[in-house]
Amino acid sequence: MLRENGLKRQVGPDSPQGDKKRRRSLGIYYTPHTAAGILARWAIRRRTDTVLEPSFGGCALLGAAVERLRHLGSNEPAAQLRGFDVDKGAFGYLNRLLGIAFPGDAHFSRGDFLLADPEQPGKSVSAIIANPPFVSWHRMNDQQRDVVRRWRSRYSPEFPMTASLWAYFLLHATHFVAAGGRLAFVLPASAITADYAKSVLQIFRRRFKSVDLFRLNEQLFIQEGAQERAVLLLAENRQAVDCPSSTLRDHAVGSLVDLESAVGLLSTEEPSDPSIDSPHAALETLGRQGNLCAVGDVARVNIGEVVGDTRFFVKTVSEWESIGHDARAYLPLLSGSRQISGVRLTSRDVRSSYSAIPRLLSLPRRRVSKRLQFYLNAYPVEARRNNATFAKRNPWYAVSYDDTAKAFVGSLSHDAPRIVLNIAEISCANGLYKLSPLRDSIWRPVLAAAALSTVTQLSAEIHARARGSGALKLEPSDVRRLALPSSYLELEASEGRRLVERVDQLLRSGEKEAAVRIVDESLLIARGVVSPRDLRILRDQLNRMRQLRLRRTR
């Protein structure tokens, strides 16, 4: 259900109480809410399922399990959860999520999962969802190595002691899954590449009838500063006794959306909340709740410079130089969104020798050099007389240049409109629009990141017009109506800067899906604007609208 502003969940990676240095020493990388939802939906099939998280950390997976169990009809989902964690901070998250104080609940233990005895009554569960510690042998502390030695003395595994901690968690977890149960783990790339991984997976495969590995190209823990790619392991139908190795299927998927499709989740879940049955209704509901604002609420929208003949007045640096003009004397002019891949247009982007930003021939009204006068005189006289733009200028070649806009947004895009901050303080052509702060309003640059959100992209599909090529055409009035998550206004300036910088880096690296996910996590999920499940529905609606638009225009 879409959540009111006041219901803001403070668990998971965005909590200000997180200590990243401490977490990394423990190998803790909190699971993004979107990924947690996918694992929970796949692993939890019945309202009576019991669920174990062997290192629950920020409680993202437990939170997703609660949501999934409630969706399936469970009245007391908290009673169906089990968990372990060595980190005292994890129990603060647990208390905020479930209202459980520690000590006092037998279902949750502060201690190392590897020392837990699966033979004790009531320990087996029907589903395990986990994001185990990512700690290699050489980074383990003395206590972790001691636990590993004790575990090995009990089970005598067929792989070297120098295996990373995830391998021990994975195999120990298999002893807690009831016959017929399922297991879903987030693992590092070493689950496929490490020398010992083959032996670990060989043992694992004897215990489940079906095993799938999904190699995720999207950087799952990008918010935590981890660059490593993740692997998701999904295993179902736990065998009562070990059997010959099952077939292990290896898949490569680009993003979490692709993963949802690959495991059949997008088609199996329909919205239960009538307010999100359609994109229009979803945005209207969010707007009534005060969770959205429009671009026009915070910025003026004006067209860029009307050049009159772009080919004549605007050329790349190399083109000007090839006809004998020194392009350094000309003014940079952004003429297309594709000339910058991020959300920040900086002076470095303009000055770079590889810059795609062209230069505008902007001449003084008097004292034009002979070389430039010769270039101007080459323009056909009849074409000059018939050009309505030239007729409005005196002299005809005096193109305006206003570099005061705070940001630009393209009028045409095939995917989604992107707001680019004008840090370089240049101007743009009329293929883009200029955004400037409204009088008495505070300009927040994080608006550029907020505009990547799923709700903004959905808003663009609703308000823009589809052209014959399938591109979205935005008029100034459409730009003003674009919806933004109003939670961006609540961010501290430093937090907003970090979000913009991270998003800019990701877009420049071609990681658009990861950039959108970070914005959604930061401004929609962590701020309690929508639940992870509702966000999945909104993303599905966006994908369907986009695909339908492109099919209609082919």
Determine the pLDDT at residue 11: 39
Determine the pLDDT at residue 354: 65
Q: Where does 409-529 have alpha helices with state H?
A: 447-450, 454-463, 476-481, 493-508, 512-520
Domain boundaries along the sequence of the chain: 23-269, 279-305+403-552
Q: Are 333 and 314 in contact (CB under 8 A)?
A: yes
Determine the pLDDT at residue 440: 81
Pairing type for strands 292-294 and 248-253 reads unpaired
pLDDT tens for each residue of the chain, 554 residues long:
343 332 223 334 343 333 444 444 444 556 777 788 889 999 999 999 999 999 988 888 998 899 899 989 999 998 999 999 988 888 888 888 887 666 656 789 899 999 999 987 768 999 999 999 888 899 899 999 999 999 999 999 989 999 999 999 999 999 999 999 999 999 988 898 899 999 999 999 999 999 999 988 776 655 444 456 789 999 999 998 888 888 889 988 877 777 877 887 644 444 444 444 578 888 988 999 999 999 999 999 999 999 999 999 999 888 888 887 766 678 999 998 889 999 999 999 998 766 789 999 877 666 677 888 888 999 999 999 999 999 999 889 989 999 999 999 999 887 889 999 999 999 999 999 999 999 888 899 999 999 999 999 999 999 988 876 678 899 999 999 999 999 999 999 999 999 999 999 989 988 888 889 889 989 998 888 988 778 888 888 888 888 778 765 55
Q: Could you give phi then psi for residue 126, rounded to 5 degrees?
A: -85, -15
User: If 0-12 CB within 10 Å is exposed, 13-18 middle and 19+ buried, where does residue 432 land?
Assistant: buried
Pairing type for strands 292-294 and 331-334 reads unpaired
Candidates 9, 28, 23, 32; CA nearest to 97 is 9
CATH architecture of the domain formed by 23-269? 3-Layer(aba) Sandwich (3.40)
Q: Are 33 and 50 in contact (CB under 8 A)?
A: no
What gap in Å lies between CA 419 and CA 344, rounded to an integer?
Answer: 9
Domain 279-305+403-552 top-level CATH class? alpha beta
In the three-class reduction of DSSP (H, G, I as helix; E, B as strand; rest coil), residue 250 is classed as strand
What gap in Å lies between CA 219 and CA 239, rounded to an integer?
Answer: 33
Q: Which letter does DSSP use for residue 254 in this model?
A: S
User: If 0-12 CB within 10 Å is exposed, 13-18 middle and 19+ buried, where does residue 477 land?
Assistant: exposed
Q: Where are the beta strands (DSSP E) in 322-443?
A: 331-334, 344-345, 359-360, 407-410, 412-413, 419-422, 427-428, 432-437
Q: What is the pTM of this model?
A: 0.64
User: If 0-12 CB within 10 Å is exposed, 13-18 middle and 19+ buried, where does residue 378 land?
Assistant: exposed
CA 369 to chain centre: 52
Cis peptide before 121 (omega within 30 of 0): no
Single-letter amino acid, residue 23: R
